[in-house]
Amino acid sequence: MRARRGFIERSIADITATLEKAIFSEELARKEGLLQNLDPRMKVITFLALLLAVSLSQGLLIIVALYFLTLLLAWRSRIPLGFFIKRVWLFMPFFTGMVALPALFNIFTPGEPIVTLWQTERFHLAITIQGLRTATFLVLRVGVSVSLALLSVLTTPWATLLKALHILRLPQVFILILGMAYRYAFLLLHTANSMFLARQSRTVGQMPGGENRRWIAASASTLLAKSYHLSQEVYLAMLSRGFRGEAQMLDTFRLKPSDWLWGATLLALALLAVLM
């Protein structure tokens, strides 16, 4: 019984935590900070330039310096550094490490060995300097890239960020799908959270394992049916309000002298990182 109730309680806690993090991110985007006060279009261009610089840079120190730049920008944007660092490095090293781990060994990256793990007459397994450098490059590049992307999302409201993506000439359908998927994700999380709470409030005594499995299957199908019918209603509501393929926003973008200064400085830094 404890295990089953624990599963439901953990599910409710995880869904609620996800919603709280999303709301907290929207609050960060509306704070008075360095990046929040910049034009979203200029942020998109400069962050894209920094991402290219991270990908093209051949120096570890340059990539580390760019990461410290992201930490400085997060601090000046009033984003809690502990929250920012954990969002990037809590799970990312695990998935990236699985990809980077084989590159450490001489089987995949031949070179000068620094640690010999296994050696016989026919087989030699060691960690090479070249492999360690390759794996470090991969982990750092992914970490800095994720940090820049997260910094952009945390300092810009989602709808404003989608509107700013027009400057990259992305297809309107692609931007519209991103916006709708973002809203539907949280709507479905909220619906699932309500279903778990209703289940917990009506559960008395021990429930058989088969009954729990049937309830989970029924809940998944109900959630899918709700999302389908809701999508039809939302689309009809959009058409009745004048939707013709492009979402309109009341916010207007205006480039200020500070935006031009920011853009010139960051583009120069990105170019310098690549050249160095």
Residue 219 CA to residue 15 CA, distance in Å, equals: 15
Amino acid code (one letter) for 42: M
Q: How far apart are CA 28 and CA 80, in angstroms?
A: 9
Backbone angles phi, psi at 77, to 5 degrees: -95, 10
For the chain, 276 residues long, give each residue's pLDDT as a single digit of tens: 444 455 666 666 676 666 666 666 777 778 888 888 888 888 889 999 999 999 888 888 999 999 999 999 999 988 888 888 888 887 776 777 787 888 888 787 787 888 777 777 777 788 888 888 888 888 889 889 989 988 988 888 877 887 888 777 777 777 777 777 777 777 777 777 777 777 777 776 666 667 767 777 787 788 788 777 877 887 788 788 777 766 666 667 788 888 899 889 999 998 998 887
Domain ranges of the chain: 2-79+155-275
CB neighbour list of residue 16: distance below 8 Å, 6 or more residues apart? 193
CA distance 273 to 265: 12
pTM: 0.74
pLDDT for residue 70: 93
For residue 199, give both structure tokens.
């289940």
What value, to the nearest 5°, has the Cα angle with vertex 250 and ends 25 and 161?
Answer: 35
Contact status, residue 247 vs residue 179, Cβ threshold 8 Å = yes
